[in-house]
Homo-oligomer: A and B are copies of this chain.
Amino acid sequence: MRMQQGNMVIAQSGGPSMVINQSLVGAVLTAMDSPAIGRIYGARHGIKGILAERFLDLRRERRATLEAVALTPSSALGSARHKPSPADCAAIFQVLHRLQVRYFFYIGGNDSAETVHIINEEARRACYGIACFHIPKTIDNDLRENDHTPGFGSAARFVASAFIGDDLDNRALGGVKINIVMGRNAGFLTAAAALARTAPDDGPHLIYLPERPFDLDRFTADVQRVVQQRGRCVVAVSEGIADAAGTPIAAKFIQETDAHGNKQLSGSGALGDMLAGVLRERAHITRVRADTFGYLQRSFPGVVSVTDAREARGVGVAAVQVAVRGAVASGSIAIRRKPGPRYAVSYEVVPLRRVAKETRHMPPSFINRAGNDVTEAFLAYARPLVGPLPPVGRFRQLA
Contact = CB atoms under 8 A, between A and B. Distances in A.
A6 to B, nearest CB: 22
Interface in A258-309: 266-270, 272-273, 276, 280, 286-296, 298-303
17 contacts: A21-B393, A65-B393, A67-B393, A70-B393, A73-B165, A74-B171, A81-B173, A162-B296, A162-B300, A169-B295, A169-B298, A169-B299, A256-B286, A267-B291, A268-B290, A270-B273, A291-B296
Interface string A159-174: 0011011101101110
A397 B61 CA distance: 8
B299 A166 contact: yes
Nearest to A14: B173
Contacts of A177: 267, 295
Interface string A113-153: 00000000000000000000000000000000000000000
A12 interface: yes
The 6 A-B pairs of least Cβ separation, nearest first, read A269-B269, A68-B393, A267-B289, A291-B294, A165-B299, A74-B168
Nearest to A180: B269
Interface string A293-333: 11110111111000000000000000000000000000000
A351 to B, nearest CB: 28
Given A269-B269, A300-B162, A75 B290 contact: no
A259 to B, nearest CB: 12
B69 A394 contact: yes
Interface of A: 12, 15-16, 21, 42, 45, 56-58, 60-62, 65, 67-81, 161-162, 164-166, 168-169, 171-173, 177, 255-256, 266-270, 272-273, 276, 280, 286-296, 298-303, 390-398
A75 B60 CA distance: 51
A29 B248 CA distance: 52
B56 A398 contact: yes
Contact of A171 (B56, B61, B78, B301): B78
A287 B74 contact: no
B266 A393 contact: no
B73 A302 contact: no
A60 B169 contact: no
Centre residue among A67, A169, A171 by max chain B CB count within 10 A = A169
Nearest to A81: B173
Contacts of A58: 395
Contact of A269 (B15, B72, B272, B287): B272
A42 B67 CA distance: 48
A161 B299 CA distance: 10
Contacts of A392: 68, 72, 301
B395 A56 contact: yes
A168 B299 contact: yes
A72 B301 contact: no
Nearest to A69: B393
A322 B364 CA distance: 60
Contacts of A292: 269, 291-292, 294
Contacts of A81: 173
A230 B289 CA distance: 36
B78 A172 contact: yes
A76 to B, nearest CB: 6
A76 B255 CA distance: 42
